[in-house]
Amino acid sequence: MRARLAGEIEAFTKRFGIAPSLSVVLVGEDPASVTYVGAKEKASREAGMISEAVRLPATSSKDRVITAVESLNRDPARQGILVQLPLPRHIDPDVVVQAIDPTKDVDGLHPYNLGLLLAGRPRFAPATPSGIQQLLIEENVETSGAHVVICGRSNIVGRPLAAILLGRGKGANSTVTVCHTGTRDLKVITRSADILVAAAGQPDLIRGDMIRPGAVVIDVGVNRINDPGRKSGFRLVGDVKFDEAVDVASLITPVPGGVGPMTIAMLLRNTLVAALASRAGK
């Protein structure tokens, strides 16, 4: 997908004399966020985009962060903007996300874009759920009529994924159940899934006996667990106990390496869409 996008980005750059641009605002130095921002910068550069990270100290005020976002909003050379979450605890992420110009909100988290998605007219669908849909399409997984169970109801993953899969058309038309911490009998529900998506941020939440034999399992979780055997002192695991699930599922995404890279690819696609829209009619 990134190779395909690189071709389209090259065509854009030839036509308009400037490459599409992605700006990422990073507040503080949360190690996972620093890694994600680095990966986004690298992937966008490799695809031929202009990429910049606006790095602000963890002590920045909400107003300072909003000022940075507004300055990117005003700059016509910046077509894609995202604010890396989570923000430091003293800053309300909703307020900051709402400050992003919805036409540049390539993470698709502005309420206007979430509203369009819910109305079945997505402009920028959030990158992680879009990537999950794309994975299902590319792997020829039948979603129409399938029972999809999503563990997690966040605005970044669970809710928008439910909206996407409830839509009509290719890679959608599913029957969707969304689970959360108030869900009773999680195992009974997960075992009824044709497609099970774990997006709870809980290591090993999904055990092998919670999966219907032959189901497709998408593991969104990225959890750091201590591993003194590694130089870094930690390793990444998903929300699914992979060793057990791999014997039961027909298809399963690994962590790391599954949903994460797809998320980045979809972010690049959203940025290209924003850049094309900004040029429309020019």
Q: How many CA atoms lie within 13 A of 4 on its CB side?
A: 4
107 part of the active site: yes
Measured from the CB atom, the residue of 19 and 262 that comes closer to ligand NAP is 262
The nearer residue to ligand NAP, 72 or 157, going by C-beta atoms, is 157
Q: Considering 84, 133, 194, 239, which one is annotated as catalytic?
A: 84
Distance of closest approach, residue 277 Cβ to ligand NAP, in angstroms: 24
* Alpha-carbon span 87 to 85, nearest angstrom: 5
Catalytic residue among 79, 104, 107, 239: 107
Q: Distance of alpha carbon 176 from its chain centroid, rounded? A: 19
Active site residue 79: no
Listed in sequence order, the DSSP H helices in the chain are 2-16, 31-46, 62-74, 93-99, 111-118, 127-138, 158-166, 186-190, 242-248, 259-279
User: Which is nearer to ligand NAP, 19 or 129 (by Cβ)?
Assistant: 129
Strands (E), 103-146: none
Shortest Cβ 198–ligand NAP spacing (Å): 8
DSSP code of residue 90: T
Choice between 15 and 180, CB closer to ligand NAP:
180
Respond yes or no: is residue 209 known to be catalytic. Answer: no
Which amino acid, residue 4?
Answer: R
Tokens, residue 269: 């696609």
Q: DSSP letters along 198-210, please?
A: E-S--TT-B-GGG
Q: How far is CA 197 from the centre of its chain?
A: 13
What does the alpha-carbon distance between residue 108 and residue 223 come to, in Å, rounded to a whole number?
Answer: 23
Which residue ranges make up the site for ligand NAP (CB under 6 A)? 128, 151-154, 156-158, 179-183, 186, 199-202, 205, 220-223, 259-260, 263
Q: Which two tokens stand for residue 263?
A: 């998320």
Q: What would the two tokens of residue 22 be?
A: 């992605």
40, 104, 204, 241: which one is catalytic? 40
Shortest separation between residue 23's beta carbon and ligand NAP, angstroms: 19
- Position of minimal CB gap to ligand NAP: 154
**Shortest distance, position 36 Cβ to ligand NAP, whole Å:** 8
What is the C-alpha to C-alpha distance for residues 170 and 144, in angstroms, rounded to an integer? 8
Q: Which is nearer to ligand NAP, 19 or 195 (CB)?
A: 195
Nearer to ligand NAP, 21 or 223 (CB): 223
- Shortest Å distance, C-beta 102 to ligand NAP: 20
Q: Is the peptide bond before 76 cis (omega within 30 degrees of 0)?
A: no
Min. distance of Cβ 84 from ligand NAP in angstroms?
A: 11
Helix/strand/coil for 240: strand
Catalytically active residues are 40, 84, 107
